[in-house]
Every structure is written in structure tokens, then in C-alpha cells.
Amino acid sequence: MPFFSFVRLVSACIVAIVMAAGIERAWAVDGAKPGTPTIAAAAAVETEGSKTRFKVTLSKPVTAQVSVMERPDRVIIDLPEVAFHLPAESGRGREGLIASYRYGLFAPGRSRVVMELTQPAVVSGMTTAPDATGAASILTIELSRADREEFRKAAVESSAAAKEASAAPVVQETKDSRPVIMIDAGHGGIDPGAAGSGNVVEKDLVLSFAQRLKKKLEENGRYKIVMTRDQDVFVSLGDRVRAARAAQADLFISVHADSIAGGQEVRGLTVYTGSERASDADSARLADRENKADAVAGVESGDMPDDVSDILMELTMRETRGFSHSFASRLVGEFDSVARLNKNPHRQARFQVLRAHDVPSVLVELGYLSSQKDLDLLMSEEWRAKMVSAMSVAVDRFFAARFARRGAAAVLP
């Protein structure tokens, strides 16, 4: 039976089971009432022979859609919005066909579980049943070992179905006369980014930093500030770039705080600009890792906007890269007196998120979560305040220079 008809059949069975249990009311309101989120209270992985079962205990039954993806091999479970109240270590242990799994908000109203597989596997069963108390519902996804060919076929069918469902629409921002700055808090939702000690994750750190930066830049009223995300939600790299272009942003600032192998000594702040050729091997590796953000969330990133296809676009891109560089230099200049900088603080690499050909863009790595000293700084209110002040000075100088240039151009014949 083709994989998707199988999934549909299983979904239909779940509906039937839920109806039979006489809880169709819970079914009907599910997803319609954002005020009463479904809660995931427990999750477990069990192995039996060649089968592995993933079980999640939910406060009410939900519809699940399952798909698979290659490179890396993954099983993706799409759910209505679920609040995951699971122990922090959930998903980290290897068990049967599941190497690890992660979960989180994928888009407003939609949650996702992404399981990395130890070897190719397909979904051989999906059921929902009341738990022992009868108060909660257990969703069970059963995986069975598959050969590479079978797995690839299932992945192709999943990909076709996902394209049909299409990506989330990008909100069109209307341009006002002020320069528009788009702040991009890296990662989010199902993609946690790097992890530091004490359960600190990059996605939370950079969101709270981005919110502070927005507030600071809004203080003088000179700029219109927009954000690619202002909550713990996944946004694909392509949608971040599209959002910047749709808002006709004059500047795009992506905020990250990753970790690096190399121990506690590697630390400090780095500003990156986009380039086909990386300035050094570490930067290339970092960009590769960042570019995998879509894969982490179970999204195909084939569809990137702005493949520079003609000479006009290339000219615009060259000019834009000049602006990106000049902003990066100003940022490094301002950070220099208040922050500890990485060796060679202005670097380049091929970051997907810096690909808008007509929006000057930089990516700021605030520090490394792998360094306890950096982590302490990142958590410090005082340090954050100093950094957002330095950034706002750099922004003011950047736009002052651009307007001076524009003014000069206007008076020239």
C-alpha cells in the first residue's frame, strides 16, 4: 500500500477510535481553541524486535500527520499546537530505530516532533488510546525497519505532499518613510540551536536579546523595527530572507550564540557577512551548521529565494555586500570597546540567511555557549544592555553615512 494512503487510513482509524470513545467534542474543539492547549505530559520509546514505538501521553486526542525525510533520515510527526511539558533530557537517548528526537512549536498553532533515525524506517502503525486513568490519551507511532529503496520512496511521497500543503505565507509589511530594520532571532520552536550548561538554549537567549535590541532601536523613533519571530516558533531560513525582502528592509541583523569545539578558550563576539567563499574553515563549518536549521525542523531548504540570476541582480548584490561590510565594520568598531571580540571579529561565510541580494545583512554571534565565561556574559543584564547600546550606535552611524551619501548624490548633477 502506498505510504500516504496508509497514513490517511491510519488517521481515519484514529478519528473512528476517538468517535467511538464518545469524545468527539474534544476532537472538534481541538486546535480551534488556542486558549486550551493540548499538553504532552510524558514520552517514551520502546523496542520490540525490529519495531520501535514512540509513545506520547497527551491531555486530549489529536490528529497526527507523519512523514519521512532523507539526509539525515528522519521521521516527522506534525501535530496541532502542543505544550510539551517533558523532562529536559527527553529525546536525548538512543533507543532502537530512534537515535534522538526533538519537539517544539513549528508554526503558530502547529507543533512537531522530529526523530532522527539510526537506520531507514517507515511508519507501520499509528494509534491513539486512553491511558490507564482514562483521563489522557496515548498517541503511539510504530516504526519498522525498511530498506533504503523503500525509505526513499516514502520520502519522495512525503515531499510531494508537503509541497502541496505549501509554505506559510509571508506577511507583507507596508513601507513607511523611516529605514526598516529587521531583527532576526536565530532558531526557534523545534530548532533549539546550540545548548549551554544548565539547560540554556540558544533560541531563548537570542530571542530575549533581539527583543531588547528592538526596544533600544525603537527609542529614538527613527527606525521601523520588525522581527522575523517574536515568540518561540520555528521560521525557515527561506522565510527569514523572504520576510526581510517583503518588508523592504534596509538592514537585516541576525542574532546567534552558537557553540564550538575547541574548549573554553574559544570565545568572544564575531560579526559575519555573506560570501560565497568563507574567510576561514571555522566560519565555513559554522555556516554549514546554521544552514542545517531547516533540516533540524524537518523542512526541505531547496527553495531558497534570491539565486542571483542576472547581471542587474549581481550589481545590486555587489552594492548590498558593500553596505553589509560597512555595517559589519561599524559594529566591530563599536563592540571593540565594550565586548571581548573573537580573533578576526569580522568574518565571512555562505550563510543562507544572509542571501537577500538587496538587503544589507549581517549575522552576529554574540559569543559561544560552549564557553562558560561567554555564557555568563550572555546571561548578564548589564552585558546585554551594553551590547544593544553599542549596536544602536553602529546602526545610527551606518544610516547617517548612507543618508549623507544619498544627500550628496542628490545635489550632484
> For Zn ion, which stretch binds (CB under 5 A), given 167-175, 207-215, 253-261, 354-362?
253-261
Question: Closer CB to Zn ion, residue 106 or residue 272?
Answer: 272
**Strand bridging mode 38-48 / 251-256:** unpaired
CB of 290 to Zn ion, least distance (A): 5
The DSSP output letter for 168 is P
CB of 259 to Zn ion, least distance (A): 9
Question: Closer CB to Zn ion, residue 67 or residue 270?
Answer: 270
CB of 191 to Zn ion, least distance (A): 9
Interatomic CA distance for residues 138 and 132, integer angstroms: 10
Question: Closer CB to Zn ion, residue 292 or residue 373?
Answer: 292
Site string for Zn ion, 63-92 (x = CB under 5 A): ------------------------------
Interatomic CA distance for residues 56 and 97, integer angstroms: 16
Question: Closer CB to Zn ion, residue 120 or residue 186?
Answer: 186
Cis amide leading into 305 (omega within 30):
no
With binding defined as CB under 5 A, does residue 186 bind Zn ion?
A: yes
Question: Closer CB to Zn ion, residue 64 or residue 369?
Answer: 369
Question: Closer CB to Zn ion, residue 256 or residue 346?
Answer: 256
Interatomic CA distance for residues 68 and 70, integer angstroms: 7
Among the listed residues 78, 191, 258, 282, the single contact to Zn ion using CB under 5 A: 258
| In the block, residue with C-alpha cell 509589511 | 173
Interatomic CA distance for residues 211 and 203, integer angstroms: 12
* Grid cell for residue 33: 481553541
Burial-class residue 266 by CB neighbours within 10 Å (0-12, 13-18, 19+): middle
Instruction: Report in angstroms the alpha-carbon separations of 222 from 73, 139, 179, 181, 296.
Output: 47, 51, 7, 10, 37
CB of 22 to Zn ion, least distance (A): 47
| C-beta atoms surrounding 168 within 10 Å | 14
Angle between helices 202-218 and 372-379 (to 10 degrees): 40
Identify residues 346-405 at the interface with Zn ion (CB under 5 A).
none
User: Torsions phi, psi of 283, nearest 5?
Assistant: -65, -40
Q: Give the 3-state secondary structure of residue 36.
A: coil
Site string for Zn ion, 298-337 (x = CB under 5 A): ----------------------------------------
CB of 187 to Zn ion, least distance (A): 6
Distance of CA 101 to the CA centre of its chain: 16
CB of 293 to Zn ion, least distance (A): 7
With binding defined as CB under 5 A, does residue 193 bind Zn ion?
A: yes
> For Zn ion, which stretch binds (CB under 5 A), given 18-26, 48-56, 75-83, 252-260?
252-260
Question: Closer CB to Zn ion, residue 193 or residue 268?
Answer: 193
Question: Closer CB to Zn ion, residue 68 or residue 114?
Answer: 114
Amino acid sitting at position 213: L
Number of residue whose CB is nearest Zn ion: 256
The DSSP output letter for 284 is H
Site string for Zn ion, 140-179 (x = CB under 5 A): ----------------------------------------
Interatomic CA distance for residues 19 and 140, integer angstroms: 18
Task: Tell me, by CB under 5 A, how many residues bind Zn ion.
Answer: 4
Question: Closer CB to Zn ion, residue 97 or residue 190?
Answer: 190
Confirm if 176 and 224 have CB atoms less than 8 A apart: yes
With binding defined as CB under 5 A, does residue 184 bind Zn ion?
A: no
How are the residues of the chain apportioned to helix, strand and coil, as percentages rounded to the nearest 5? 35, 25, 35
Site string for Zn ion, 91-130 (x = CB under 5 A): ----------------------------------------
User: CB under 8 Å to 376, separation ≥6 — which residues?
Assistant: none
CB of 242 to Zn ion, least distance (A): 19
> For Zn ion, which stretch binds (CB under 5 A), given 143-151, 188-196, 272-280, 327-335?
188-196
Question: Closer CB to Zn ion, residue 193 or residue 298?
Answer: 193
CB of 383 to Zn ion, least distance (A): 19
Among the listed residues 60, 216, 229, 256, the single contact to Zn ion using CB under 5 A: 256
| In the block, residue with C-alpha cell 521601523 | 224
* Grid cell for residue 354: 544572509
* Grid cell for residue 357: 541580494
Residues that bind Zn ion (CB under 5 A): 186, 193, 256, 258
